[in-house]
Structure 1
Amino acid sequence: MRFLQSIVLFLFGLSAFAQEKTIDFDAPDSLYREDQFYIGLTYNKLQNTPKDLSQNKFSSGISVGFLRDMPFNKSRTWAIAAGLGYSLNIFNDNLLINQPSVSPSSENIYSFDADLIYSKNKMTLHYIDLPIELRWRTSTPESHRFWRVYTGFKFSYLFYDQYKFVGSGETIKVTGNEDYNKLQYGVYIATGWNTWNFHAYYGLNPMFKNAKVDGQSIDMKTFNLGLMFYIL
């Protein structure tokens, strides 16, 4: 009986306390974080290319992921963030890749042919991304509409690649190309207002590690320009 009486008294006390300390769920959260999902759309421009290389059609890219926000000042206008994402980059150009049919382990052949007529010649690259960034923004607990400048460093691991050529009565596909650098890294910046943000990424290491065309190393890097959308 005493145990039951104790429980009843405890519940009455808790009820009285709750009435005095009503929780305001609409009150601003002074310890908010800008944890955000992101979606990026880019135009991919190749840099440091062989002299005969030219891009044709539209080379596009898309990236999605999540970033964990970690503010480090009292007003929470400065933060660092780390995340995980996925990106797809497509490059349409005139660099031809052919794998000899003698053996799957044979070296790929890279070439240019100005007289060759084709409808498709593209590289499709799939990456797992690990972005790390420094953030500045004008956000407040009352509003999530603000100016931002986010800049950082991104590691990308190539987990699937495909080259496809369609033309001159034949179709060529090359996947699992060992000439690609599996690990890509570069710097980026995203700046803008609210949802709409300009985004730029510059790769610091070459896409290929040991490929050559006409005796020249293919040391091209990627430069991506586009828009980044952040979603709380």
Structure 2
Amino acid sequence: MKHLVLLFICFTFCCGFAQNDEANTVIDSLYKEDQFYAAITYNVLHKVPDNLKQSGFSLGFHIGFIKDMPINSRRNWAIGVGLGYSTNSFNQNLLINTNENKDFVYDIVNENTYSKNKFSNHVIELPIELRWRTSTASDYNFWRIYAGFKLGYMFLNNTKYDGDLGRIKHANINEFNKLQYGLTLSAGYNTWNFYAYYGLNPILKDAALSNGTTLDMTDIKLGLIFYIL
């Protein structure tokens, strides 16, 4: 009998503690999601001229902060506006060099004539997103779909070639479009999220191959994005 009484007292105490703890737990009705992000992408050149090919891994790294602004009472719909930085490389067989007049010229070269040939850029980005998720203030494992638009300012670009013509490097080429913009989509569950970027304007402006073919190529980025509160 004594054991039953002690068990009842312990049970009552534990229940009372649990109820008190639950009562003292305040669910944040003003919670926000996914303030910081980091992404890694494989970069693909799109709308390329004939015989222009990519080789190796063309990678992109992206980090930034997005201000999450819910637009409904449940807070599963939101607008996101942020600021970020990305660096991207494109390994391919387009040689960017200068002629005797110091003008930049563009030629497609044989892949067997070089060991390295790429151009890279560094971009300050302004992402804008419409966000939908299944999260709550206490559930951190949820589905999300974020669709948006990203505006970028390319503040630095450079090219590197190492091959039969020697070592060739150039930086801050005027023909690179400083303004870059495109559509974005990220979707997934919990930690693992697919990310895609589709560039809407050309990487280069007023640039053409020696045979007169205009270089109107854009970029597509595919990879993974990770969000942090």
Do they fold alike, i.e. is TM over 0.5? yes
Give the TM-score range, shorter chain: 0.7 to 0.9
User: Does 2:106 align with 1:107?
Assistant: no
Which residue does the alignment assign to 2:203? 207
Take 2:111 and 2:184, find their aligned partners in 1: how far apart are those partners?
38
Take 2:134 and 2:224, find their aligned partners in 1: how far apart are those partners?
20
User: Does 2:52 align with 1:53?
Assistant: yes
User: Does 2:209 align with 1:191?
Assistant: no
Kept after mapping to 2: 8 A contact 1:86/1:127: yes
Take 2:55 and 2:34, find their aligned partners in 1: how far apart are those partners?
38
Which residue does the alignment assign to 2:13? none
Which residue does the alignment assign to 2:67? 68
User: Among residues 121, 127, 141, which one is paired with 1:125 in the alignment?
Assistant: 121
Take 1:59 and 1:229, find their aligned partners in 2: how far apart are those partners?
20
Q: Give the 3 Å change call, closer, same or farther, for CA 79–99 of structure 1 in structure 2.
A: same
Provide the TM-score with structure 1 as the length reference.
0.86
One-letter identity of the residue aligned with 2:59: S
Provide the TM-score with structure 2 as the length reference.
0.87
Summarize deviations over 1:146-165 as a string: whole Å, max 9, x none.
10000000001000111000
Which residue does the alignment assign to 2:17? none
Give the drift of 1:114. Answer: 2.2
Which residue does the alignment assign to 2:219? 222
Give the drift of 1:116. Answer: 5.3
Kept after mapping to 1: 8 A contact 2:61/2:88: yes
Give the drift of 1:27. Answer: 2.1
Extract structure 1 runs of 4+ deviating beyond 4 A: none
Take 2:208 and 2:45, find their aligned partners in 1: how far apart are those partners?
16
Equivalenced residues, count? 207
Q: Which runs of 5 or more structure 2 residues have no equivalent in the other structure?
A: 1-22
One-letter identity of the residue aligned with 1:222: D
